[in-house]
C-alpha cells in the first residue's frame, strides 16, 4: 500500500526534498527511559484498542508516558460532520486539517459549539509521506508535555487514513497572523513573547533526555492560542539528536526553503543548532514583518536574509527595515539587540551559533528593555 522509498516528494509548496547519497531509513520510535506502555487503556501507535484522555500540560516540560486516545474513524466523522468542507481550517503536504468538537472530559464526539474544539489532521489516501509523518508525530508529541508544544490528544489509523487529533489553536499560525493583509499588526511585546515561547519549546526539545531536532522550524509551524501564546506544531520531520558522542545526524536534506540550515544543505549533516538557524530566520521575520522568501518583491529583495543582513549591524540601517506597521512603537535598543541575535543565529557554520538556551537568555534580557515613556 505504501511504496517504501525515500523519493516520495512533498506536495506542499512550502517544503522541499533534496536527496543526498542513498536513502534514509524511516523514523523509528525513540526509546524513553519511562515506561512506554502504562495502564491498560493507554494506546500504542501500532495497535488498536481503547484509549484515555491525554494528561494536562504541566507548568514545565517533561517526558511522559504516552496516554493518547485512540479514536475510531466513525468518531471523527461525527466530530467534523463527516469532514464537511466548511470545517477545513488548513491544508499541507500531509493532508487536510479539520475543526471538530469533542467532550472535554471523555473526548467523545459532540455537536458543533458543544464541548471543546479540536484540530483533526487527516492524511491523504495511500500517502507514504503521511504514514512517516504520522508515526513521527505520535512518537514525539505523544511523549512530550510542555506549555510551548501543541498537545496531541489522540490518533486514528483506519480506512487507509492516518489521522492526528490536537488541541485547537484559536489564533492560527504565526505565518497567517504576521503576514496577513489588513487587521491590527502584532505589537512589539507580543512578538517578543512569541519568540520567547518558541525558544522555550526548542530549548526543551534540545535539552530533554531524548534530545530532539525539530528540523522544520518555520512561521507556519508556530501556532498561537487566543492570547497569542506560541506553541510548536508539526513534528513530522523531527529527528532524534546525535548519539554515541557524534556531533550530527547524517540524513537526506529535507526542510523548508529559506529556513533550512546552509551547512545542513551543503553536507547532509543535521545538527541540533540547525534549528537555531531556522529560529534566526523567524526572528528576522518578526522584526521586519516580511516573509523569508517572496517572489513578488523586487529583485534584490526576494530573499529576506540576503537583503536585510547588511542592515542588522547598524542602528540607523536597522530602523529602515523594521516593520513599518509597528509605527516605531518599540524600544530601539531592544530591536538592535534582537537584530544582533539574528546575526548570531544565522552564522553559516553551526558551531559559531548560540545554543537555544543562550538564545532564550538573550531574549529574556531583551524583553526587559522597555519603551522610554518620554
Q: What cell was used for 129?
A: 509521506
| Burial of 133 (C-beta count, 10 Å sphere; 0-12/13-18/19+) | buried
273 assigned ligand-binding residue:
no
Q: Which helix (H) or strand (E) holds 155?
A: strand 152-158
DSSP lists the bridge partners of residue 119 as 99, 166
Q: Which residues contact 310 (CB under 8 A, 6 or more apart)?
A: 317
Residue positions annotated with a catalytic role: 216
Q: Give dist(CA 168, CA 122) in Å, integer.
A: 14
Q: Give dist(CA 221, CA 7) in Å, integer.
A: 23
DSSP lists the bridge partners of residue 95 as 123
User: Quick one: residue 228, left, alpha or beta (phi over 0 = left, psi -120 to 50 = alpha)?
Assistant: left
Fill in the DSSP letter of residue 52: -
Q: Which residues contact 118 (CB under 8 A, 6 or more apart)?
A: 79, 99, 100, 101, 102, 153, 165, 166, 167, 168
Binding-site annotation, residues for ATP: 122
> Could you tell me which residues are annotated as the binding site?
122
Amino acid at each position: 500500500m505504501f511504496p517504501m522509498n525515500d523519493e516520495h516528494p512533498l506536495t506542499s509548496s512550502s517544503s522541499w526534498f533534496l536527496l543526498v547519497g542513498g536513502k534514509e531509513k524511516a523514523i523509528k520510535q525513540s526509546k524513553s527511559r519511562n515506561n512506554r506502555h502504562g495502564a491498560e487503556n493507554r494506546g500504542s501507535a501500532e495497535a488498536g484498542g481503547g484509549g484515555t484522555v491525554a494528561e494536562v500540560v504541566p507548568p514545565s516540560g517533561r517526558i511522559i508516558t504516552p496516554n493518547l486516545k485512540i479514536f475510531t474513524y466513525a468518531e471523527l466523522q461525527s466530530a467534523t460532520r463527516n469532514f464537511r468542507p466548511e470545517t477545513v481550517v488548513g491544508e499541507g503536504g500531509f493532508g487536510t486539517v479539520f475543526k471538530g468538537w469533542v467532550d472535554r472530559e471523555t473526548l467523545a464526539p459532540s455537536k458543533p459549539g458543544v464541548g471543546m474544539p479540536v484540530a483533526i489532521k487527516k492524511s491523504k489516501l495511500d500517502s507514504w509521506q503521511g504514514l512517516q509523518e504520522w508515526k513521527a508525530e505520535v512518537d514525539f508529541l505523544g511523549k512530550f508535555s510542555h506549555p510551548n508544544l501543541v498537545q496531541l490528544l489522540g490518533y486514528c489509523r483506519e480506512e487507509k487514513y492516518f489521522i492526528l487529533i490536537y488541541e485547537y489553536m484559536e489564533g492560527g499560525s504565526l505565518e497567517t497572523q504576521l503576514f496577513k493583509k489588513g487587521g491590527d499588526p502584532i505589537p512589539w511585546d507580543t512578538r517578543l513573547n512569541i519568540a520567547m515561547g518558541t525558544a522555550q519549546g526548542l530549548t526543551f526539545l534540545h535539552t530533554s533526555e531524548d534530545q530532539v531536532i525539530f528540523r522544520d522550524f518555520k512561521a507556519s509551524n508556530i501556532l498561537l492560542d487566543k492570547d497569542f501564546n506560541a506553541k510548536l506544531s508539526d513534528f513530522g520531520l523531527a529527528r532524534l539528536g546525535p548519539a554515541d558522542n557524534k556531533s550530527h545526524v547524517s540524513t537526506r536534506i529535507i526542510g523548508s526553503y529559506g529556513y533550512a540550515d546552509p551547512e545542513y544543505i551543503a553536507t547532509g549533516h543535521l545538527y541540533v543548532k540547525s534549528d537555531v538557524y531556522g529560529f534566526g530566520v523567524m526572528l528576522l521575520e518578526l522584526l521586519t514583518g516580511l516573509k523569508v522568501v517572496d517572489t513578488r518583491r523586487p529583485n534584490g529583495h526576494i530573499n529576506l536574509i540576503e537583503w536585510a543582513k547588511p542592515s542588522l549591524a547598524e542602528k540607523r540601517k536597522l530602523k529602515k527595515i523594521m516593520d513599518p506597521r509597528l509605527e516605531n512603537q518599540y524600544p530601539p535598543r531592544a530591536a538592535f539587540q534582537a537584530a544582533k541575535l539574528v546575526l548570531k543565529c544565522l552564522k553559516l557554520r553551526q558551531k559559531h551559533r548560540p545554543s537555544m538556551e543562550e538564545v532564550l537568555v538573550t531574549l529574556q534580557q531583551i524583553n526587559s528593555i522597555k519603551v522610554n515613556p518620554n
